[in-house]
Structure 1
Amino acid sequence: MKAIKKCMGLEERFKKRAAATKIQAWWHGTLARRTLLHAALRNWIIQCWWGHTVVRLLQRKRRAALITYADRERAVVKLQSLVRMWRIHWRYCQVLNAIYIIQCHWKCQNCQTCALLRGHCIVTADHLQFHIEIINP
């Protein structure tokens, strides 16, 4: 009888040991999955942060490139404007000189009262239009 009891005690111990082994395996698996889940979540957080950081850096680079481009364009437009202004001023000075020369020659003529002088000029950036009419009364 003792041998049978001893045998049953061994079986129970084996069953308890097998059950304990299963519980331990389950617990170790749960700990491993939890650790992997935490590692995956941390990895995901770092990847999201890095993605936002890269986007911010790209936006800063784009903004800097846009500002540089706008500054260059503004400088080019300003330079073109100054060149056009200088060319128009130069043409205007040419017209004034021509008018002064014509007036001087006209005043030197004996026949000042015989005719009237009427004229107009159009100054553009590309050319000079100058019309003089001598009207005899």
Structure 2
Amino acid sequence: MGPKRSTNTNKANASAAVVIQAWWRGTLVRRTLLHAALRAWVIQCWWRHKLAKLMELRRRTTLEFFARQEWAVVRVQSWVRMWCIRQRYCRLLNAVRIIQVYWRWHNCHTRGFIQGDYELKEDRLNIQLEISLGSQACKVQQCIPLPIKE
């Protein structure tokens, strides 16, 4: 029975060696798969981080563009309002000037005015006056002797 027993132990040893080798190869495969999964997870985390930064950049760019558009709209609206108010102010100012011109002309004609000139000669003063009161006009010419002591 000696030789059979050695073949049984050889078979048992070979079988145990196969089991150990299978376990070791499985461990190596599982370790390789774990490392590959970890590397894939790291790459996915990095990619998600990059996508989040890209989305934040797009959001910020869109927001800044919108803010610039809003600012431009507000600026144009203020210019248009300023232009309309200035037009209205200029029209009112023109109306005021027209009213003042007519009022001054009316006052001048109702109150009257005096226009004239004078000339001073040796011992006389010649005066020519034109007095206007509304539609009436009066012309005065007078020569006044001056009291000069010799």
Query: TM-score category by the smaller chain?
Result: 0.7 to 0.9
CA shift at 1:5, angstroms? 1.1
- Counterpart of 1:111 in 2: which secondary structure? helix
- Between the two structures, name the one with larger relative contact order (CA 8 Å, sep ≥ 6): 1
Q: 1: distance between equivalents of 2:35 and 2:110?
A: 109
Matching residue of 2:72: 75
Aligned partners of 2:19, 2:49: CA distance in 1, in Å?
A: 45
Q: Which runs of 5+ in 2 are unaligned?
A: 112-150
Task: Summarize the alignment of residues 1-137 of structure 1 with structure 2, pairs less than 5 Å apart.
Answer: 4-109=1-106, 110-111=109-110
Percent identity of paired positions between Structure 1 and Structure 2: 49
Superimposed CA distance per residue, residues 47-83 of structure 1 (whole angstroms, 9 cap, x where no aligned partner) = 1111111111111001000000000110010010011
Distance in 2 separating the partners of 1:104 and 1:12: 135
Distance 2:5 2:58 in 1: 78
| CA-CA distance at 1:10 after TM superposition | 0.7
Residue-by-residue CA offset, 1:19-64 (whole Å, 9 max, x unaligned): 1110000000000000000011111111111111111111100100
CA RMSD of aligned residues (A): 1.3
Cα deviation code 1:89-123 (max 9, x no counterpart): 111011110000000000111336xxxxxxxxxxx
Q: Secondary structure at the match of 2:10?
A: helix
Q: When the two structures are superposed, what TM-score results if normalisation uses the length of structure 2?
A: 0.71
More helix by proportion, 1 or 2? 1
Distance 2:9 2:98 in 1: 132
Q: How many residues align?
A: 110
CA distance in 2, matches of 1:70, 1:108: 56
Q: Normalized against structure 1, the TM-score is what?
A: 0.77
- Match for 1:13: what amino acid? N
For 2:37 and 2:56, the matched residues in 1 are separated by 28
- Taking the aligned partners of 1:13 and 1:23, their CA distance within structure 2 comes to 15
- For 1:69, give the aligned amino acid: F
Point out the structure with max Rg over C-alpha.
2
Question: Which residue identity lines up with residue 43 of structure 1 in the other structure?
Answer: A
